[in-house]
Amino acid sequence: MGKYLLDRVVVGLLSTNCYFLVCEETKKGAIIDPGAYPSQIWGKVEELGFDVTVVINTHGHGDHTDENKYIVERSGATLMIHEDDKSMLVVGMTDVVDNGKNHKILHDGDIIEVGNLRLQVIHTPGHTPGGICLKCENLLFTGDTLFYLSVGRSDMPGGDYKALMKSIHDKIMPLDDDLIVLPGHGPHSELGYEKNHNPYLRR
Ligand SMILES: [Zn+2]
Ligand SMILES: [Zn+2]
């Protein structure tokens, strides 16, 4: 098991969880969803003392992506987002993607290497067409797909309730019960607990 350091800053008006996942052996790390408060995010990078090699968006909503540009330009990291949400990067980042600077378009099953850590991309459309969850060791970053005792909205543009339920039942339910669920908003949870108590997941 790769040794990792996990931390979080809650950012913006919608209290988005911006996560920091750092490989302890190499001090290389990922920032997941830098949605607001760039100076607080950068303060955490300095506090943890790591090299930001990737910035990953769980999906294309602004509350998860608005400070991509600041973080990518300051760190030189590679920006990653699923193909089906790439077009949503209207704030700050389309120029980076369109100008062919450091970015990588993600697909289901991709493995993202962060130092010695490996994050598996799980495409979970429904909240948005290109929403993803990320699995690494005993962690499951769920973006706005799965929350503590709830799921993401599917009534915004690009949302699809049936697709969201299919993603959860086909892609999330088969995963290990002991995974720690790290959602895009609100408190963390455990997948086994969600399978038993979340009304949208009940087995
Ligand atoms: Zn969202
Ligand atoms: Zn959100």
Gap from CA of 140 to ligand 1 centroid (Å): 17
Q: Is residue 202 part of a domain?
A: no
Residue 23 φ/ψ, nearest 5 degrees: -75, 115
Relative to the alpha carbon of 186, which ligand is closest?
Answer: 2
Q: Is residue 75 part of a domain?
A: yes
Relative to the alpha carbon of 12, which ligand is closest?
Answer: 2
Q: How many structural domains comprise the chain?
A: 1
What is the number of alpha carbons within 13 Å of residue 187 lying toward its C-beta? 5
How far apart are alpha carbons 203 and 24 in whole angstroms?
36
Q: Tokens in use for 123? A: 């495409």
Dump the DSSP string for 120-184.
EEEE-TTSSTT-EEEEETTEEEEETTEETTEE----STT--HHHHHHHIIIIITTS-TTPEEEES
Domain ranges, residue 93: 4-197
Residue 103: pLDDT band (50, 70, 90) is confident
Gap from CA of 196 to ligand 1 centroid (Å): 24
Question: pLDDT tens digits for 10-41?
Answer: 999 999 999 999 999 999 999 999 999 999 99
Gap from CA of 176 to ligand 1 centroid (Å): 24
CATH number for the domain spanning 174: value is 3.60.15.10
Q: Given a cut of 60, is residue 56 above it in pLDDT?
A: yes
Q: Which residues, chain by chain, have CB under 5 Å from ion ligand 2?
A: 63, 144, 184
What Cα–Cα distance (Å) separates residue 178 from each residue in 29, 147, 159, 184?
Answer: 23, 16, 29, 19
Work out the angle at residue 69's Cα, subtended by the Cα atoms of residues 68 and 74, and round it to the nearest 5 degrees. 105
What is the number of alpha carbons within 13 Å of residue 202 lying toward its C-beta? 3
Residue 132: per-residue pLDDT: 98
Residue 98: pLDDT band (50, 70, 90) is low
Helix (H, G, I), strand (E, B) or coil at 46: helix
Q: Is residue 109 part of a domain?
A: yes
Gap from CA of 62 to ligand 1 centroid (Å): 8
Q: Is residue 118 part of a domain?
A: yes
Q: Is residue 61 part of a domain?
A: yes
Q: Is residue 11 part of a domain?
A: yes
With a pLDDT cut of 90, the percent of the chain lying above it is 87
Relative to the alpha carbon of 127, which ligand is closest?
Answer: 1
Gap from CA of 1 to ligand 1 centroid (Å): 31
